[in-house]
Structure 1
Amino acid sequence: MLSDIEISNQASPQLISDIANKLGILSHELTSFGDAKAKVDPALLKRLVAKQQGKLIIVTAVTPTPHGEGKTVTTIGLTQGLAHIGKKSCACIRQPSMGPVFGVKGGAAGGGYAQVIPMQEMNLHLTGDIHAVSSAHNLAAAALDARLFHETRLSAAEFTRQSEQTALNIDPQQLLWRRVIDHNERSLRHITVGLGAINGPVHDSGFDITAASELMAILALSHDLTDMRKRIGRLVLALDTSANPITAEDLGVAGAMTAIMVEAIKPTLMQTINGQPCLIHAGPFANIAHGNSSIIADKIALKLADFVVTEAGFGSDMGFEKFCNIKVRESDKAPDAAVLVVTLKALKANSGIASDLDINKPDMDRLQAGFSNLNWHINNVAKYGVPVVVAINHFPTDSQAELDWLQHAVTKTAAFGCEISQSFAQGASGAEQLAKTVAAATEQTSNFKFLYDVNTTIISKLLTIAESGYGANNVTLTAQATQQMQRFEALGFSHLPLCIAKTPMSISHDPSIKGIPGDFELPVTELRLNAGAGFITALAGKVMTMPGLNIKPNYLNIDIDDAGHIIGLD
């Protein structure tokens, strides 16, 4: 079979203006970036205010493995499959970060005959939204350090006289705003800022990957440009010497940050390999952020299509939990159905038996042992009151006997249905039966419910997520996390939902624990306030907000040929 980029290059995409027209976007609501992609003006929602919303389908997965479960493939394949059975459909997915593109995970356009095209344009830069987030974020960091420098070298009165601004009395030990870059760069995790006599007070800082920026979360959770401006103004950048928060509005930088991101508020329209529309917007990771594409993209798609398929990052304990407890609270739109992606390889890898060297060989013992992980995720989705359909992403090495056993085993669970998806190899026709079953699931009565009451204490919410969301016995907090919790509660932020940053490779905080972890405590090492986005991040275990490149990164495979075409980007 051809590689993903070869399939993409051989495809015959329609003009993006034609894709927009079929979806119902008017020409003046579209700004084209060539023939393959275009920005969509969210102002079109005013025109569509009286139009009924379509059905929202959220795609999630079992606990991830290094083999790849095919969540984006299934998202795109299902969108194509729904169109194949006569449903007007649209996909909404996140913009890929160049960190994983050049690192380990690779691109995020799907694959095979279930991908967004041109895949190289989606995976590299797209329309520049991530760069805008990086620039706006780092402007705030530069502004904060500059303000600290000038206030430190002058008296408060002299600073006010020269600048015509009131001194903020920034505490140099409480600068909360780190810098970001859209690459995996472990050497920048911890840095010292201000070295040299004329460069300002020396203090510790660091870099996160841009996907972890609170501005990325704000982009994903904002309803419009005005809302984004207000959220940016609420960003807490530092504390003053009396432990009061200093916001981007206080610093006077919120307006300029918004100006940098004024075009980023518009989702990017592309197309699947069979010409179905796909809105790409925002790119927060699900292990260190909330892991879902934007509310704006969903709102546009739900007004224009009968079925909207979106994707939550990693397993149902990660992006799906955050979709339900963070995104739904902001959007007020619960999913009508969920699709839970699984592969035979994933269940064998989650069995904890033997090595992955023979993962493609039939092994009923390992499959049956790993099934408990799938059943856990089915029950996890079902506890939110959302009908769940299991999608078995088919690989050529799968044995029919194992597929038959798995489908039969799922019939005894809380799942609405279970279908084999062959969209990677067959495109839209390979997801036909999955599309029919998912469409039927959306007709069920919705009984959506949140996992926790947002108005309880921070520790109560932590305990609920740890115990009901992961199966832990308890939560332990470091002295630093305890102090931060007390500070946030004193400042009036205890009502915010929580975003747990942890490993995606286990339901627990420990990536080595497979299957269904039990008898463990969730260790919370740090809390970070995201007042603009509207949640508190809790770092659990050894999770890091800046990934590092591995010993054999993907960039080694990427180049251009003699004609200038990108190669090796799969």
Structure 2
Amino acid sequence: MPSDIEIARAAKLKPIVEIAAKAGVPEDALHLHGKHIAKIDDRFIAELPKRQNAKLVLVTAISPTPAGEGKTTTTVGLGDALNHIGEKAVMCLREPSLGPVFGVKGGAAGGGHAQVVPMEQINLHFTGDFHAITSANNLLAALVDNSLYWGNPLNIDPRRIVFRRVLDMNDRTLRQIISGVGAPTNGYTREAGFDITVASEIMAVFCLARDLKDLEERIARIVVAYTPDKKPITAKDVDAQGSLCVLLRDAMRPNLVQSIDGSPVFIHGGPFANIAHGCNSVIATTTAMKLADWTVTEAGFGADLGAEKFMDIKCRFAGLAPDAVVIVATVRALKMHGGMAKTDLSTENVEALKTGLVNLGRHIENVKKFGVPVVVAINHFYADTDAEIETLQTAVKADFGVDAVICRHWAEGAKGAEGLARAVVDLVGRQASDFRPLYPDEMPLLQKVETIAKEIYRADKVQASAAIKKQLKEWEEAGYGKFPVCIAKTQNSFSADPTAYGAPTGHTLPIREVRLSAGAGFIVVICGDLMTMPGLPKVPASANIKLLEDGTIDGIA
């Protein structure tokens, strides 16, 4: 069986100008990055009709396991299949971070015959967007320290600098550092730290901005530090917004590539869903909706993280309303949620599958709380048995009232997801979405956290120190009370315990830290042991990535 990279290399790519024409984008609106990658000019986007006609479909998944779910693969397969049956669809994905590529997860371009190409470029430097975001972030950090060094005219309290530097790589040793050591000319010695680029506020602002003007306004609002009497100091106070926008101008143009099947795909922005809000850029999604009849997008990790943030953050800010949600599940992953070891997953076990179905059921119930119709995509693996598939489809229909469609897009491409495409079209045609966020803007911040914890995670309570509660109250008094909350927690469980598979109840959600993202427009709530700068595993994926003698790249999967 060929690998993802072997399938990608065997694909015959079309010139990107042909793909753009298929989406209704003329050649003079393209900024070419070689033959197969282009950026869409912002002036062309600005001139598109204001009306959004496309149906918006969100692809999410059950809670991740080492067995794999295939959310991005299914997004690509569904988009290809919609085009295959005569609809006009454009897909919207996030850009891969180098951290997972060289760490644990590997690439993020889909798989098999349902992936985006050119795969190696997309998974590596692509069009340089992440480098631009990293540079913009670190310029702002440097400007804060520079103001401190040159007499501190803004009266910055060095103990209250809250803006951190970033790097798009997993490096646990940079989580907490001492900066400015040595000679006085090296700056003020203070405690500092790094996050991974995809967890940064600059990434969040980049993905939520509607255009360059909105981007500049959001950057200006970023709170970078406080004075000794806790007066906020913003990026505008250090005159940063103009120079950061210059660094981000080209990056803000959405990237256009293609699937193996030749469908147009926007890949733009890349916040993690366990740390940040986990969705591709607003500008890419809204552009796709003006160019197609169907826009298929994905949100990171399980529906408790990416989908919730898509609904409560991205849709709230962008005025979007999804028409349907596809929840991806695999027999293998559900058996893991039912207690099976990864090494045993190729063995039929209907009872473990039945036990693990509680995880899928929880996600279905949660998505329905947003008023959006749901269909389940069963991403087929070769070892799945007829008995397991029949059990899964029967139980999903009987217990949760939704259809579960078997999909073979990894092996068969568009044809393998045709049943899912027809199911989505039928679902949207007969069941109108009544989309609504989970909580109103006016709800107090801590109550918003409690609402997500109890309604989505099924926690009994939220654990927050007196200092955290005080901080949330102060932010409400400062005018940030209407912000949504972005909960950062483990992706592997509904709880803060990554080992709690299935659908745990009665647990406590422990808040470790809260961060104000005034530019992005939300409050980050960090729970449990989650780190905003991940570490590498004992044997990272980088150990298997290399150049072959002919110059081709091997090991990215």
TM-score by shorter chain over 0.5: yes
Cα-to-partner distance string for 1:512-557 (whole Å, 9 max, x where unaligned)? 1111111111111111000000100000111110000001111111
* CA-CA distance at 1:480 after TM superposition: 4.0
Give, in whole Å, the separation in 2 of the partners of 1:300 and 1:16. 17
Question: Does the CA-based 8 Å contact 1:390-1:415 persist in structure 2?
Answer: no
Give 2:243's aligned residue: 256
Q: Which amino acid aligns with 1:442?
A: V
Give 1:394's aligned residue: 380
Q: Which amino acid aligns with 1:340?
A: I
Does structure 1 residue 138 correspond to structure 2 residue 138?
yes
Name the SS for the 1:513 alignment partner: coil
Give, in whole Å, the separation in 1 of the partners of 2:466 and 2:177. 23
Name the SS for the 2:126 alignment partner: coil
Q: Which amino acid aligns with 2:241?
A: A
Bigger Cα displacement from structure 2, 119-128 vs 469-478 = 469-478
Give, in whole Å, the separation in 1 of the partners of 2:511 and 2:44. 43
Question: Does the CA-based 8 Å contact 1:92-1:308 persist in structure 2?
Answer: yes
Give 1:365's aligned residue: 351
Compared with structure 1, are the counterparts of its residues 43 and 414 closer, same or farther at alpha carbon in structure 2 (3 Å cutoff)?
farther
Paired residues in the alignment total 555
Give, in whole Å, the separation in 2 of the partners of 1:200 and 1:121. 38
Name the SS for the 2:496 alignment partner: coil
Q: Structure 2 matches for 1:150-161, cutoff 5 A?
A: 150-152=150-152
Q: Of residues 294, 303, 318 in structure 2, which corresponds to 1:316?
A: 303
Give, in whole Å, the separation in 2 of the partners of 1:55 and 1:308. 6
Name the SS for the 1:408 alignment partner: helix
Name the SS for the 1:537 alignment partner: strand
Q: Which amino acid aligns with 2:309?
A: K
Give, in whole Å, the separation in 2 of the partners of 1:469 and 1:204. 36
Give 1:499's aligned residue: 486
Give, in whole Å, the separation in 1 of the partners of 2:480 and 2:231. 13
Give 2:458's aligned residue: 471
Give, in whole Å, the separation in 2 of the partners of 1:50 and 1:489. 34
Compared with structure 1, are the counterparts of its residues 221 and 415 closer, same or farther at alpha carbon in structure 2 (3 Å cutoff)?
farther
Give, in whole Å, the separation in 2 of the partners of 1:110 and 1:398. 20
Does structure 1 residue 265 correspond to structure 2 residue 241?
no
Give 2:178's aligned residue: 192
Q: Structure 2 matches for 1:93-492, cutoff 5 A?
A: 93-152=93-152, 167-198=153-184, 199-351=186-338, 353-443=339-429, 444-492=431-479
Compared with structure 1, are the counterparts of its residues 529 and 12 closer, same or farther at alpha carbon in structure 2 (3 Å cutoff)?
same
Q: Which amino acid aligns with 1:491?
A: A
Question: Does the CA-based 8 Å contact 1:480-1:525 persist in structure 2?
Answer: no
Give 2:91's aligned residue: 91
Give, in whole Å, the separation in 1 of the partners of 2:216 and 2:222. 10
Q: Which amino acid aligns with 1:100?
A: P
Give, in whole Å, the separation in 2 of the partners of 1:225 and 1:98. 26
Give, in whole Å, the separation in 2 of the partners of 1:24 and 1:49. 13
Gaps of 5+ in 2: none
Question: Does the CA-based 8 Å contact 1:58-1:338 persist in structure 2?
Answer: yes
Does structure 1 residue 42 correspond to structure 2 residue 42?
yes
* CA-CA distance at 1:50 after TM superposition: 5.2
Give, in whole Å, the separation in 1 of the partners of 2:179 and 2:234. 20
* CA-CA distance at 1:95 after TM superposition: 0.3
Name the SS for the 1:75 alignment partner: helix
Give, in whole Å, the separation in 2 of the partners of 1:334 and 1:43. 25
Does structure 1 residue 558 correspond to structure 2 residue 545?
yes
Does structure 1 residue 82 correspond to structure 2 residue 82?
yes
Question: Does the CA-based 8 Å contact 1:524-1:539 persist in structure 2?
Answer: yes
Question: Does the CA-based 8 Å contact 1:79-1:276 persist in structure 2?
Answer: yes
* CA-CA distance at 1:51 after TM superposition: 5.1
Give, in whole Å, the separation in 2 of the partners of 1:151 and 1:431. 63
TM-score by length of 2: 0.98
Question: Does the CA-based 8 Å contact 1:134-1:210 persist in structure 2?
Answer: yes
Bigger Cα displacement from structure 2, 557-566 vs 414-423 = 414-423
Give, in whole Å, the separation in 2 of the partners of 1:314 and 1:210. 18
Name the SS for the 1:410 alignment partner: helix
Q: Which amino acid aligns with 1:19?
A: I
Question: Does the CA-based 8 Å contact 1:378-1:415 persist in structure 2?
Answer: no
Give 1:156's aligned residue: none
* CA-CA distance at 1:487 after TM superposition: 2.8
Name the SS for the 1:303 alignment partner: helix
In angstroms, what is the RMSD of aligned CA positions?
1.1
* CA-CA distance at 1:569 after TM superposition: 1.0
Question: Does the CA-based 8 Å contact 1:416-1:441 persist in structure 2?
Answer: no
* CA-CA distance at 1:490 after TM superposition: 2.8
Q: Which amino acid aligns with 2:396?
A: V
Question: Does the CA-based 8 Å contact 1:149-1:201 persist in structure 2?
Answer: yes
Give, in whole Å, the separation in 1 of the partners of 2:490 and 2:376. 23
* CA-CA distance at 1:354 after TM superposition: 4.3
Cα-to-partner distance string for 1:261-289 (whole Å, 9 max, x where unaligned)? 01111110000001000000000000000
Give, in whole Å, the separation in 1 of the partners of 2:50 and 2:313. 26
Q: Which amino acid aligns with 1:284?
A: P
Cα-to-partner distance string for 1:286-313 (whole Å, 9 max, x where unaligned)? 0000000011111111111111110010
Question: Does the CA-based 8 Å contact 1:478-1:526 persist in structure 2?
Answer: no
Question: Does the CA-based 8 Å contact 2:98-2:123 persist in structure 1?
Answer: yes
Cα-to-partner distance string for 1:375-423 (whole Å, 9 max, x where unaligned)? 1111111111111110000000111110011011111144542101100
Give 2:535's aligned residue: 548
Bigger Cα displacement from structure 2, 40-49 vs 130-139 = 40-49
Cα-to-partner distance string for 1:290-344 (whole Å, 9 max, x where unaligned)? 0000111111111111111100100010000000000001111111000000001
* CA-CA distance at 1:138 after TM superposition: 0.3
Give, in whole Å, the separation in 2 of the partners of 1:378 and 1:346. 16
Name the SS for the 2:343 alignment partner: coil
Question: Does the CA-based 8 Å contact 1:56-1:308 persist in structure 2?
Answer: yes
Give 2:501's aligned residue: 514
Name the SS for the 1:309 alignment partner: strand
Name the SS for the 2:346 alignment partner: coil
Compared with structure 1, are the counterparts of its residues 521 and 51 closer, same or farther at alpha carbon in structure 2 (3 Å cutoff)?
closer
Question: Does the CA-based 8 Å contact 1:480-1:526 persist in structure 2?
Answer: no
Question: Does the CA-based 8 Å contact 1:290-1:323 persist in structure 2?
Answer: yes
Compared with structure 1, are the counterparts of its residues 306 and 195 closer, same or farther at alpha carbon in structure 2 (3 Å cutoff)?
same
* CA-CA distance at 1:43 after TM superposition: 2.7
Question: Does the CA-based 8 Å contact 2:74-2:328 persist in structure 1?
Answer: yes
Give, in whole Å, the separation in 2 of the partners of 1:323 and 1:463. 18
Compared with structure 1, are the counterparts of its residues 278 and 557 closer, same or farther at alpha carbon in structure 2 (3 Å cutoff)?
same
Percent same amino acid among aligned pairs?
A: 48
Question: Does the CA-based 8 Å contact 1:339-1:390 persist in structure 2?
Answer: yes
Name the SS for the 2:8 alignment partner: helix
Give, in whole Å, the separation in 2 of the partners of 1:393 and 1:568. 24
Gaps of 5+ in 1: 153-166
* CA-CA distance at 1:483 after TM superposition: 3.6
Question: Does the CA-based 8 Å contact 2:305-2:491 persist in structure 1?
Answer: yes
Give, in whole Å, the separation in 2 of the partners of 1:437 and 1:497. 33
Give, in whole Å, the separation in 2 of the partners of 1:531 and 1:5. 41
Name the SS for the 1:151 alignment partner: coil
